[in-house]
Structure 1
Amino acid sequence: TTGLPLNILVNNAGVMATPFTLSKDGIEMQFATNHIGHFLLTHLLLETMKKTSRESNVEGRIVNVSSEGHRFAYKEGIRFAKLNDEEEYSTIAAYGQSKLANILHANELARRFKEEGVNMTANSLHPGVIITNLLRHHSIIDVLHRTLGKLVLKNAKQGAATQCYVALHPDAKGVSGKCL
């Protein structure tokens, strides 16, 4: 790390409903992108965040951007033993399990922060349905999403507002382990 203070981390990289693909590290792409990347980055920065919180007496906040899509995970939840099983792969269920992992990760961080007495919070959130290119692998749905969606869906700035609220707003102080 650079040694610079760090109080806020928003994990917001994501892909959705992709065809079965493995990452460069050999992990199913949605789980690798939506969860493993966030998990690794968080844990690489965690000691810096704890140190910053202690030294500045300012609450550290970690926000995992999840999705209501977590409800569509495989019926057993996260299939750790079958992450790379192409035969049983479902684009939507794989997305759901990656977003469920985001929630569980934030909840476990919150539990640990409380146990350690660290002045930090961890939450997950569903930013709303936003006009993005996340559905690019499903052409007809993507076209409808980006054209008709302009009438009723959030734009990128509106979607970012939810994340900024949880990361910055004084009303969120001390709120931890929630899926907002």
Structure 2
Amino acid sequence: MSRRGGSAFSSSSTAEEVTEGIDGTALTAIVTGASSGIGAETSRVLAMRGVHVIMGVRNMVAAKDVKEAILKEIPIAKVDAMELDLSSMASVRKFASEFISSALPLNILINNAGIFGTPFMLSEDNIELQFATNHMGHFLLTNLLLDTMKKTADESKREGRIVNVTSCGHRLTYRGGIRFDKINDESSYQKFRAYAQSKLANILHANELARRLKEDGVDITANSLHPGLIVTNIHRYYFHHGSSNNMLRSIAP
């Protein structure tokens, strides 16, 4: 049996258990990477609690299936899908612009989307793909939506929440931490170290953002979250290239 902490929840607690009794009917949330895995379950449970969920997804066909499944279970759910490719800064800007144009409030931003263990590739913006997708896209998205979140927090008098889904694998990054001068260095690229590097960046982003929001007196919290060892399709490259289970256990959320 898992040892429970002060919250009375443990590693075996489900999202439904943690949110039981919470009324989110006045809240709007964006969940990136919501077409599968942790993002899909997060969207389902938020919708179950009455939150208006905007799924930011690259695969709109998969998102349609997730949305239909949620509505089948929860007919009164408020769920919408918008196209978002975190590896593309143009896509991030388009998503943010369209969301802001909708005039919807934004109480919760869950930066969940991610890729893991990819072969060396550059994004369309010439940034190593894991760093571009896992960190740069979310960094830009958060920055573009921050004014909307501040306005929502001020007008609603309810604390805003920003959550970066990261990994304890950040401890396995390259020696010295983030190699800012070698992000795109193919010759020294190690796919698991690169993943860990992007996850360390998520944590540093949340830490600094939390500090600045507090310093400015803004009623928004920013936190990084390690979800535990949850095997989803984020590991598709990992399994395709036949890496060891020991590394998987040590690095991946």
Q: Could you state the TM-score of these two structures normalised by the residue count of structure 2?
A: 0.55
Selected match of 1:81 from 173, 181, 184:
181
Aligned mates of 2:177, 2:115 — CA distance in 1: 19
Does residue 1:55 correspond to 2:155, yes or no? yes
Selected match of 2:214 from 72, 94, 114:
114
CA deviation vs aligned residue, 1:30-51 (integer Å, no higher than 9, x gap): 0000000110110110000001
Q: Which has the larger radius of gyration?
A: 2
CA deviation vs aligned residue, 1:115-167 (integer Å, no higher than 9, x gap): 0000110000111111212222233359x79xxx9xxxxxxxxx9xxxxxxxx
Q: Which residue of 2 aligns with 1:44?
A: 144
Q: Which runs of 5+ in 2 are unaligned?
A: 1-99
State the identity %. 65
SS at match of 1:63: strand
Aligned mates of 1:94, 1:141 — CA distance in 2: 15
Displacement of 1:101 in angstroms is 0.3
* AA aligned opposite 1:3: A
CA deviation vs aligned residue, 1:73-120 (integer Å, no higher than 9, x gap): 111111111100000101111000100000000001100011000011
Aligned mates of 1:87, 1:131 — CA distance in 2: 29
Q: Could you state the TM-score of these two structures normalised by the residue count of structure 1?
A: 0.77
* AA aligned opposite 1:35: H
The structure whose RCO (Cα within 8 Å, separation 6+) is larger is 1
SS at match of 1:137: helix
Q: Which residue of 2 aligns with 1:29?
A: 129
CA RMSD of aligned residues (A): 1.8
Displacement of 1:3 in angstroms is 1.8
Does residue 1:19 correspond to 2:119, yes or no? yes
Q: Which runs of 5+ in 1 are unaligned?
A: 150-158, 160-180
How many residue pairs get aligned? The number is 146
Q: Which residue of 2 aligns with 1:135?
A: 235
